[in-house]
Amino acid sequence: MDLEYAYTKKRMHFGKRCNFSDFDKTEVEIKSNPALMNNYVRMDPVTHATQCSKVFAVHEVNTTTATYRDNKMFHYEGGWPKDINMKDLEQTVRYRRKIEKDELYIHTMLQLLPSMEHCILQNNACNIYEEYFADVETISLIQRAFSRTVNVYRDPLTMKRQITHLSWSPDQGNRFAASYCNVDFKKTFSSNYTSYIWEVENPNNPYITLKPFCPILTLEYSPKDSNTLIGGLITGQVGCWDLRRGPEIIDISSVEFSHRDPCDKTLWINSKTGTEFFSASKDGQIKWWDTRKLQVPTETLVIDLSKPENQNMDKATGISALQFEPSMGTRFMCGLENGIVISGNRKGKTPSEKIATRFRAQYGPVISLERNPTFVKNFLTVGDWTSRVWSEDCRESCIAWTPGHRDFLTGGAWSATRYSVYYLIKVDGTLDVWDFLIQEDSPVLSIKVCDESLTCLRPHEQGQLAAVANKKGSTYLLEFSEALTVNQKNDKLLLTALLDRETRREKVIEAKNREQRLKMRTLKMHGELDFTDASLKLDEREESKKSSAGLKNALIVQCEQEYENIINAELTRQAEANIVELNNNVMQNGRIIS
């Protein structure tokens, strides 16, 4: 058997390419001549200067190079006699006192001081080349606020559906879940009810496609497990997904124990097992669930504001917003369709104790409700054309609010990292960024995200990103600048002072209003505001009004008379001045004739 091996070499290693030409030429061979070396003068070294611009200097001038050297010295305590232990404080102090009492001590110190002082002065010399603040980060006084669109995630279906909810995954927020549902029932019926989980880095294709039997209104990631999700369905039921077991729903609640209206609000609860959550709907019910036994709710609360003890479903007020703060245990909040915000406690023994605190927040339905991540006593409400910031210490009025917008607000959320920043979305496709520490009357940044109405907003836990969805099924991933995401050194102190000041102001106003109401109630109890007195006071008011009207008319007539007298006096003065001037002219003419 013959073995054969081929050696290959790239063309680039052969050298310069040979170009052959077809014409006559003469080649001459010139051999080296050693005699020519005598005419060659070797110069070593050879320097050649290159200057790009024109040289104007007559002579070359250069400064002497300054050479620096760093010297270190280790100081050890020495010079002690052998019988003295330098680590024993009493022995060293006693020996020092003995030496200081010696007659030669002062003379010796006077000889050593000049040289020591010279070294100290040399050591204190300032190095002009030293960078004293090299490690200090320079921050500009006014930072520019801006944002940019990172990615756009579009609905793969041809018939575009509205995005009703967004939720970030707990594993560093690399994915987010979006629920797609046409809440307008006039739309064309579609049998495709899929919702998607998207990867941040891949906007072209969904990461996972969820396939329920009916449209999903809300999807929420578990804060402890990135593979578990809960969702509210359009049938009023709640379901659970485990991504490790596929895109199909693994458990669902029973229809008879679920909500009567579409379930559009679900939130996880901070529990030891990590399996509890609660849901709300427009039917006015709040239900607590456990994913280990999802068929029946563990607890139900009906929001009946007239008589909470009756739990009457016919008189319940629809819930339009839901909020839960993990750091506050059993406390929860819900926004109602009549503009009232309920701050409840699940530990209450009766329904009236569970929904004891009420805030008259908006004139219309409360669309968004969220606590500040740092100042949990303060919460944000969004509804109709305004957003308001409330404090739990003030129940009658908010402590801050935005002016009325021209376009309807559809949602809002606090920034996850910067204390004073929150976002608002509107029906015209605009996202507004508000910062209380900079200005309170207008947003610091307004972004035109798209031409369609924005439906939901969810900031990233790291604060720099935010996902915004619109009515046509597109999700926009926005990135904000450091001015909107990073806190400055004194931001927390400044915002604390601002919130405390506004809270005290509202407390003073509430106390005055309470005192006025108490005074009116006391007058009613003593019978001083009966019908007779009221009619007499009404007559007195009418008489006083008539007398004031007569006095006003008299003053008007008097002013008109005075104005007319002034005009007449001015006309008389001008007439007299004209007569005097005419007489003077006549006298001058007579003199000229004579």
pLDDT single digits (tens) 457-479: 999 988 889 999 998 889 999 99
User: How far is it between the farthest Cα atoms of the chain?
Assistant: 162
Residue 205 corresponds to which amino acid?
N
The residues, any chain, with a CB within 8 Å of residue 227's CB and separated by 6 or more, are: 242, 243, 244
- Counted residue by residue, the chain has a size of 594
Taking the C-alpha atoms of residue 365 and residue 335, their distance in angstroms, rounded to an integer, is 7
Sign of CA dihedral 33, 34, 35, 40: positive
Taking the C-alpha atoms of residue 477 and residue 468, their distance in angstroms, rounded to an integer, is 6
**Which is more confident, 133 or 487?**
487
429-438 contacts, C-beta under 8 A, 24 or more apart: 429/453, 429/454, 429/470, 430/454, 431/457, 431/468, 431/478, 433/145, 433/147, 433/480, 433/484, 434/387, 434/402, 435/145, 435/484, 436/389, 436/400, 436/495, 436/498, 437/491, 437/494, 437/495, 437/498
Taking the C-alpha atoms of residue 103 and residue 117, their distance in angstroms, rounded to an integer, is 23
- Which two tokens mark 546? 């008539």
CA–CA distances in Å: residue 546 to residues 537, 539, 551, 555, 556: 14, 10, 9, 14, 15
Tell me what pLDDT residue 468 has: 93
Residue 17 corresponds to which amino acid?
R
The share of the chain scoring above pLDDT 90, in percent, equals 9
Taking the C-alpha atoms of residue 357 and residue 343, their distance in angstroms, rounded to an integer, is 5
The neighbour count for residue 206, using CB atoms within 10 Å, is 19
Q: Where residue 188 falls among pLDDT bands split at 50, 70, 90?
A: very low
pLDDT single digits (tens) 111-127: 888 888 887 777 666 66
Residue (of 502, 489, 548, 495) closest to 401 by Cα position: 502
Taking the C-alpha atoms of residue 96 and residue 190, their distance in angstroms, rounded to an integer, is 99
**Which is more confident, 14 or 544?**
14
Residue 534, pLDDT > 80, answer no
Tell me what pLDDT residue 240 has: 92
Under 8 Å between Cβ of 433 and 449: no
Q: Where residue 588 falls among pLDDT bands split at 50, 70, 90?
A: low
Superfamily of domain 147-486: YVTN repeat-like/Quinoprotein amine dehydrogenase (2.130.10.10)
The neighbour count for residue 101, using CB atoms within 10 Å, is 8
CA–CA distances in Å: residue 370 to residues 5, 321, 366, 476: 76, 9, 11, 22
Question: 266 - beta bridge partners?
Answer: 279
- For the chain, the average pLDDT equals 81
Q: Where residue 425 falls among pLDDT bands split at 50, 70, 90?
A: very high
Q: Where are the domains of the chain?
A: 147-486
Residue 350 corresponds to which amino acid?
T
DSSP H helical segments within 343-457, as ranges? 351-354
Residue 497, pLDDT > 70, answer yes
Tell me the DSSP string of 303-354: --SS-GGG--GGGPPPEEEEEE-GGGTTEEEEEETTSEEEEEETT-SSHHHH
Least confident of 101-110, 129-138, 528-537: 528-537
- Which two tokens mark 87? 């680590």
Taking the C-alpha atoms of residue 522 and residue 526, their distance in angstroms, rounded to an integer, is 6
Residue 591, pLDDT > 60, answer no
Residue (of 329, 308, 328) closest to 317 by Cα position: 308
CA–CA distances in Å: residue 496 to residues 22, 90, 142, 214: 92, 54, 22, 46
Residue 190, pLDDT > 70, answer no
3-state secondary structure 473-494: CEEEEEEECHHHCCCCCCHHHH
CA–CA distances in Å: residue 157 to residues 154, 160, 180, 212: 9, 6, 11, 16
Residue 567, pLDDT > 80, answer yes
Sign of CA dihedral 214, 215, 221, 227: positive
Residue 337, pLDDT > 80, answer yes
Pairing state of beta strands 340-345 and 208-210? unpaired
**Which is more confident, 592 or 326?**
326
DSSP H helical segments within 367-490, as ranges? none
The answer to whether the bond into 297 is cis (omega within 30° of 0) is no
pLDDT single digits (tens) 151-183: 899 888 888 888 999 999 988 778 899 999 887
Least confident of 69-73, 364-368, 415-419, 521-525: 69-73
Residue 225, pLDDT > 80, answer yes
DSSP class of 38: G
DSSP H helical segments within 443-530, as ranges? 491-525
DSSP class of 245: G
Under 8 Å between Cβ of 455 and 469: yes
Tell me what pLDDT residue 177 has: 92
Q: What is the mean pLDDT of residues 332-361?
A: 86
Q: How far apart are the first and last CA of the chain?
A: 162
Strands of the 357-360 sheet, one edge to the other: 319-324, 331-336, 340-345, 357-360
For residues 443, 449, 450, 453, the Cα torsion angle rounded to the nearest 10 degrees is -60
Question: 324 - beta bridge partners?
Answer: 332
Least confident of 37-46, 266-275, 480-489: 37-46
- Which two tokens mark 460? 């990233």
Tell me what pLDDT residue 531 has: 46
Work out the angle at residue 49's Cα, subtended by the Cα atoms of residues 45 and 52, and round it to the nearest 5 degrees: 165
Residue (of 200, 270, 276, 195) closest to 458 by Cα position: 200
Least confident of 179-193, 350-364, 503-517: 179-193
3-state secondary structure 109-142: HHHHHHHHHHHHHHHCCCCCCCCCCCCCCCCCCC
Q: Cα Rg for the chain, rounded, in angstroms?
A: 44
pLDDT single digits (tens) 227-272: 899 999 988 899 999 988 888 888 899 888 899 888 988 998 888 8
